[in-house]
Amino acid sequence: MNERTELKIIGKPIPRHDAWEKAFGLTIYAADFSMPGMLYGKVLRSEYPSAKILSIDTSKAERLRGVRAVLTAKDVPRNESVTRFGQTHTMGGGFEGLYRVLADRKVHFMGEAVALVAAEREEIAERALELIEVEYEPLPGVFDPMEAMKPDAPQVQMGRSNIVTHYEVIKGDVERGLLEADVVVENTYRVPFVDHAYMEPESGVAWVDENGVITIRVSTQVIEHFRGVAEVLNLPHNRVRVIGTYVGGGFGGKEDITVESFLALLAHKTGKPVKLTYTREESILSHSKRHPYVMEYKTGAKKDGRVVALKARLVSDAGAYVYLSPWVLLYSMVDATGPYRIPHVKIDGYTVLTNNTFTSANRGFGAPQVCFAYESQMDELARALRMDPCEIRKMNYLKKGEELATGQVLEYHVALEETTDKAREALGDKTPASGKIRIGQGIASGMTSYGRMVFLHDTSRSHVSIEMDGSVTIRAGVQDIGGGQASSLCQIAAETLGVPLEDIKIYIADTALTPLAGTTTATRQLYMSGNATLKAAQEVRRTLLKKAGEILNIDPERLDLADKEVVDTEGTGKSLSLTEVVKACASDGLPLYHVALYRAPFRNLTQYERIEGKVFPDFTYGTHAVEVAVDEETGKIQVLKLIACYDVGRAINRLSVEGQMEGGAIYGMGYGLTEEVILEKGKTMTPSFSEYLLPTSMDVPEVKTILIESGDGTGPFGAKGIGEPSVCSIAPAIANAVYDAIGARVCDLPLTPEKIVGTIKGKKD
């Protein structure tokens, strides 16, 4: 079918429909929704990181006036099942961890849910929590994954080893490679727990509808948790409906179940609508964190700069529950070499249970951790060999058609050389140093996958229909978490059907009414649901043009849809209004809708321990360059310049893409400089934004974004994903710039003033 070469709506910086609603305060976020007779839910949480529950007495709480339900583990029809993340394909091999709704017999981390309350007013529910008497017997805990790996360490979860997963990547002979190397650099890198710190805390409202369906209106990245919630209640899947709201930020933290099961249990028990909203402190204490890693890296290169060997060991802290830890580690394993050609590789990876807050998805999903290590190592090699950091990278970058250490072939454009040159050039000359202020520049490149792992058999669906007046409706189960997920689909349909963007309406995120589109995670929605929507819209277009061809007596291949008209592209001036064609199709009983299914490439794992072959559909590549000012007295780092240059394939909406790249850069800057959830023996010492420090408007440089549009992605119109890749290489670029400024490397994130001052002092001593 004819494809229009000149795009009218794709690629333009178009304001999003949801932005207007948000600007006027009209968007009804999860916590903004209320129902008559609604109750308020609260969660009682563990005060110990590791303890036996000897008894729970709820009688006093139950007797409090206004309390309508108090639930503990014994009240949950199916308290233990397995974690799933929207996927319908079961992996096995330890990928699915334990999902426990409420603690039973034991608590495993501080903040674990122990009991639920629903009451007529919020303060009554709070009072009821105080009246629940839990008798604990504290047990020894383990808080360091290295300790937890030892055979005599306390066992975090009964009946299983603390080591959740061990993976290997092997290529060539690493010991031989290291012997052949002229220089070898060896460092241990450490990265911290990080909170997602979305501005909107977890929230939802659940009720039992007139059909007896438990309906949960919730802020989530994964409406397909409806299946898991149904299993908790021992109900058929079609008796639970999840409606996703516009989400006030997700970043991976709303990928796991948050309030859904609690709400469903309380609504089911009371028969009343129930609202549950976490406080900020509760959010920080109880939801997942980014995995801390210890990464031992040994990298060898020849005199001319060619990297010949990498031996690495990764250990991640899974916290007290498995959740997505094996998956995150798998991403790290594939990415651990970085986008470099290395003949001899051996990577070992472990993810280990501890009595810390559990860890799971966080924007980048294992990619930013290893990027900090491999990009610090590249600079270390450049220094050891007295080479330019850009030159050594360019010598070793993989090119399209080459293979990662796992054997996955890079099938699409690899934009590393050009992003390095452009980022370096945009950085310009170094700002002159003055007094105690030292200036440094650094770069780092990254690769991050988009789309889920091919073993997950990922699919998405989208329904596109055209109304009698030519307006268009999209129904797609996408969750919009602020990245413009919904509006991008509108642009794709508008472009394909030749109607203005204002004529499109989209219904999203309802498991009962919108075709399921999978999760808004893994930088997959534009890729997956964009392709599904394109396919559905193309099918409707084909029907319309075929009918128009019959009416006009012109080959449909010659016809195009533009500005609500069918036009002859060969300039005969023959045309037909869109509504006439729609009416003609309707009279003939032709379908004016199509539901399309887009299927990612599938491949099964042949075995679990050793990672080989294709794991991801594709990657997004790019480079960050930064300039920093370091105060050698106080150790304070100010980022002066930040250049973000990534290949996005095709920018469907330029404003949204820039927004991802600017926001992602600052998200990554926080990771590099200030953000750390500090846990002391399992206790969170940073439970508010006074202690957990996000970048403010005063801390940020002017991010300069350079978009590369290779057109060679596997998304619609050649798009790649950018949501997570935008974060990947900031922290190492900052660390490399700091090295340039102070002449020493800090291997632990975040680069706090204390660490900088200590490093400068250590160097002088």
Partner 1 sequence: MPKFYPLELNVNGEWKRAVAAPQETLLYVLRERLNHTEVKEGCGKGDCGACAVLLNGKAVNACLALALQAHKQKVVTLKGIGTPEQPHPLQESFVKHGAIQCGFCTAGMIVSAKALLDENPRPTREEIKRAISGNLCRCTGYKKIVEAIEEAARKLR
Could you say whether residue 638 binds partner 1 (CB under 8 A)?
no
The C-alpha atoms of residue 546 and residue 556 are separated, in whole angstroms, by 5
Smallest separation (angstroms) from partner 1 to the CB of 661 = 9
**Which residues, 219 to 238, sit near partner 1 by CB under 8 A?**
none
Strands 307-319 and 67-71, by their bridges, are: unpaired
Residue 322, phi-psi category: left (phi > 0), alpha (psi -120 to 50), beta (remainder): alpha
**Residue nearer to partner 1 on the CB measure, 166 or 280:** 280
* Residue of the chain from 434, 553, 606, 697 that contacts partner 1 (CB under 8 A): 697
Extract the tokens encoding 521. Answer: 């995670």
Q: Name the packing angle between helices 578-587 and 525-552 (round to 10°).
A: 80
Smallest separation (angstroms) from partner 1 to the CB of 63 = 16
**Residue nearer to partner 1 on the CB measure, 480 or 618:** 480
Could you say whether residue 23 binds partner 1 (CB under 8 A)?
yes
Smallest separation (angstroms) from partner 1 to the CB of 684 = 15
- Give the range of 28-36, 521-529, 572-580, 626-634 binding partner 1 by CB under 8 A: 28-36
Q: Which residue bears the tokens 């291997």?
A: 747
Q: What is the 3-state secondary structure (H, E, C) of 671-684?
A: HHHCCCCCEECCEE
Class of residue 78 by CB neighbours under 10 A (exposed 0-12, middle 13-18, buried 19+): middle
Q: Which residue bears the tokens 């991403």?
A: 331
- Give the range of 167-175, 539-547, 659-667, 712-720 binding partner 1 by CB under 8 A: 659-667
Could you say whether residue 722 binds partner 1 (CB under 8 A)?
no
Smallest separation (angstroms) from partner 1 to the CB of 289 = 15
**Residue nearer to partner 1 on the CB measure, 200 or 510:** 200
Could you say whether residue 251 binds partner 1 (CB under 8 A)?
yes
* Residue of the chain from 49, 86, 663, 682 that contacts partner 1 (CB under 8 A): 663
Extract the tokens encoding 157. Answer: 């979860």
Smallest separation (angstroms) from partner 1 to the CB of 429 = 22
* Residue of the chain from 90, 188, 279, 638 that contacts partner 1 (CB under 8 A): 279
* Residue of the chain from 131, 439, 512, 700 that contacts partner 1 (CB under 8 A): 700
Could you say whether residue 689 binds partner 1 (CB under 8 A)?
yes
**Residue nearer to partner 1 on the CB measure, 515 or 663:** 663
What b/e string do you get for 459-490 counting C-beta neighbours within 10 Å, with b at 16 or more? Answer: bbbbbbbbeeebbbbbbbbbbbbbbbbbbbbb
33 to 24, 55, 277, 469: CA distances (angstroms)? 17, 36, 11, 33
The C-alpha atoms of residue 333 and residue 250 are separated, in whole angstroms, by 24
Could you say whether residue 602 binds partner 1 (CB under 8 A)?
no
> Residue 242 belongs to what H/E stretch?
strand 240-244
- Give the range of 105-113, 315-323, 538-546, 664-672 binding partner 1 by CB under 8 A: 664-672
Beta-bridge partner residues of 184: 300
**Which residues, 102 to 161, sit near partner 1 by CB under 8 A?**
123
28 closest CA partner among 247, 222, 198: 247
Q: List, in sequence order, the alpha helices (H) in 104-257.
A: 122-131, 145-148, 174-180, 226-232
What one-letter code names the amino acid at 428?
A: G
- Give the range of 12-20, 204-212, 300-308, 612-620 binding partner 1 by CB under 8 A: 12-20
- Give the range of 94-102, 388-396, 496-504, 655-663 binding partner 1 by CB under 8 A: 655-663
The answer to whether residues 69 and 270 touch, using CB atoms and an 8 Å cutoff, is yes
Smallest separation (angstroms) from partner 1 to the CB of 631 = 19
Strands 214-218 and 240-244, by their bridges, are: parallel
The C-alpha atoms of residue 749 and residue 740 are separated, in whole angstroms, by 17
Could you say whether residue 36 binds partner 1 (CB under 8 A)?
no
Could you say whether residue 18 binds partner 1 (CB under 8 A)?
yes
Q: List, in sequence order, the alpha helices (H) in 360-512.
A: 367-384, 389-396, 416-427, 485-497
Could you say whether residue 665 binds partner 1 (CB under 8 A)?
yes
Q: What is the 3-state secondary structure (H, E, C) of 715-753?
A: CHHHCCCCCCHHHCCHHHHHHHHHHHHHCCCCCECCCCH
Smallest separation (angstroms) from partner 1 to the CB of 7 = 19
Q: Name the packing angle between helices 367-384 and 389-396 (round to 10°).
A: 110
**Which residues, 174 to 203, sit near partner 1 by CB under 8 A?**
196-201
Smallest separation (angstroms) from partner 1 to the CB of 118 = 17
* Residue of the chain from 4, 7, 8, 27 that contacts partner 1 (CB under 8 A): 27
- Give the range of 10-18, 220-228, 524-532, 607-615 binding partner 1 by CB under 8 A: 10-18
* Residue of the chain from 8, 29, 79, 182 that contacts partner 1 (CB under 8 A): 29
Smallest separation (angstroms) from partner 1 to the CB of 207 = 18
* Residue of the chain from 696, 743, 761, 763 that contacts partner 1 (CB under 8 A): 696
Smallest separation (angstroms) from partner 1 to the CB of 322 = 27
* Residue of the chain from 269, 280, 394, 755 that contacts partner 1 (CB under 8 A): 280
The answer to whether residues 610 and 168 touch, using CB atoms and an 8 Å cutoff, is yes
* Residue of the chain from 335, 662, 709, 740 that contacts partner 1 (CB under 8 A): 662
**Which residues, 470 to 529, sit near partner 1 by CB under 8 A?**
481-484
Could you say whether residue 418 binds partner 1 (CB under 8 A)?
no
3-state helix, strand, coil in the chain (%, to 5): 30, 30, 40
Q: Which residue bears the tokens 């690629």?
A: 11
Q: Which residue bears the tokens 């495993």?
A: 108
The DSSP code for 44 is: E
Class of residue 676 by CB neighbours under 10 A (exposed 0-12, middle 13-18, buried 19+): buried
- Give the range of 90-98, 319-327, 345-353, 688-696 binding partner 1 by CB under 8 A: 688-696
Extract the tokens encoding 610. Answer: 């050793």
* Residue of the chain from 247, 301, 453, 534 that contacts partner 1 (CB under 8 A): 247
Smallest separation (angstroms) from partner 1 to the CB of 210 = 25
Displacement of CA 107 from its chain's centroid (Å): 28
* Residue of the chain from 568, 658, 709, 724 that contacts partner 1 (CB under 8 A): 658
**Residue nearer to partner 1 on the CB measure, 227 or 654:** 654
The C-alpha atoms of residue 143 and residue 48 are separated, in whole angstroms, by 13
597 closest CA partner among 457, 759, 702: 457
* Residue of the chain from 22, 269, 394, 430 that contacts partner 1 (CB under 8 A): 22
Smallest separation (angstroms) from partner 1 to the CB of 9 = 16
**Residue nearer to partner 1 on the CB measure, 366 or 663:** 663
**Residue nearer to partner 1 on the CB measure, 251 or 616:** 251
The answer to whether residues 111 and 357 touch, using CB atoms and an 8 Å cutoff, is yes
Size of the site for partner 1 (CB under 8 A): 56
**Residue nearer to partner 1 on the CB measure, 368 or 549:** 368
Quote the strand ranges of 302-335, DSSP E: 307-319
Binding site for partner 1 (CB under 8 A): 13, 15-16, 18-29, 31-32, 123, 196-201, 246-249, 251, 279-280, 481-484, 655-656, 658-659, 662-667, 688-690, 694-698, 700, 702-703
